[in-house]
Structure 1
């Protein structure tokens, strides 16, 4: 993964599509472009790339195609997986002088943190949303005041990621806007819209929103229709749930191939009122097991699946873990291991 041109882009930022990723990226863009303090001293051009775990390699390649190895690369709100780690290893071999900065709150990243610290010392992990981790980092560096939009969105992301708290009417409006923007970015996968949002949030100048609110409303309506479809499918699948220890196991292979498997697992959990393990198969043949539970039980089961040699990668959060199953694992073995691990719930 080597750079191809002679034009240098000093700073690269790769962040998730959602509100947490957008806000964290905007904070770093603000600190670099407007405050000129981090990751580099002085004002520098910044390459902004949205990506999820599956699109990470392409996003990094795009940064390299825009110029030589960046002086700094920041990865924000993207769960570390085996594939991403391999991409970063390859990148750091070719770009030895690049400062790698990784800020994230996903459990897979925390679980694999030792591998990250072997690549860089600038690793900032925690259980708070990535935007809040980024905010705390910048405050420690002396950036104590963000733009009003950034401050408002950072607080809204905290509500979206960690649950409701008493809100003022103004805060409710910002949370609703942040949720709508998050859905719009996730559904549309429009890179230019994402970049405009990052720069709008980071700008200290009064500016109109860089998108048509009617477009966002349309996308939110589409998302709501998708939610209805997921709810109907959850009702259909709930009656097929098999008791495996203290877990209700649902095999949805061939029955659900759309995006939104995590949302489907959450709907099943709500219907069954018990920990759920949902088995799905992606269009590339990879089998994923989504585990939904109360508290951190899902993550404990997920790490157990990795230690037992059943799974390879972990994604998700404390109560919703996503594992990629090994190709050679059969259904009987999976159920037996799940039955034992369900005691950890």
Structure 2
């Protein structure tokens, strides 16, 4: 005997992507539908990445008609892609409110990493970061964060697979914690979500110490953007971040961070010529993180027009690395990719500003 459903539903047209899993359960309940309908709809959104309710073929025609009468799927539609000489791709997305957003797809030795944004602009004003010069326009919603991943996946080639996600794009993730937490739950859920491993996801913070323990609940890797070895340096380079939390408080919070077994913190350190790249800086950095289960990523500054800072010489970079290695730290020099399209670390924002008045041509996804 066919099931009968209540035809009453919310009067406003809802964006299905905007619902958390719990909100989706409440939504389907408003139709008198069984709870498993919520999981079916979520699978279509995150695993099949559909853009049309009529594609939900395990819902009856009647159910799809009812759902379409009060809901739709508002995915990112206007996209442009800038391709670097090294294969890095910078995605420019125009959102529903006409704001522009950027994320970067980085190929590297068998990995394909997407650098995801969490805000349009940034709450912080780090002097070496182009995004910081924009100020904060607004926080991204959870579905806008996830949609960056879904839309990039739509544009991957037949033999390409997204392997890693890093929340290191525009914005300070821990300043938009609730949306980031919701987005990560959708991305990591294996029953109905995108199914990414939490070990393949890294969230980077400029050091909001009061939120580090909250970040532990996300179950992903954590990276701390340190960039200085004294409060005097940090006040110059990251004035707002250092007012919120001094270097001493930040390191103390890192020592208290509840690291899971076989996980470690990552400390990121942007090297600026003549500012924080001396042997003495390296020795102070080693002393600061001594005893913390961690690795250090050195990021030679990626220059952008108008910046007072410069990239260190290769010799200075290698000397800094060698001092840390001699102190017993595992340390890597991050490769700079996508610099010719302002897609490297610290360079996001200029493309969005330049294209704010232009229409983005929709790019046909390769599914």
- Give the TM-score normalised by structure 1: 0.29
From the two aligned structures, give the one with the greater helix fraction: 1
Q: Which has the higher contact order (CA 8 A, sep 6+)?
A: 2
Structure (1 or 2) with the larger CA radius of gyration:
2
- Give the TM-score normalised by structure 2: 0.28
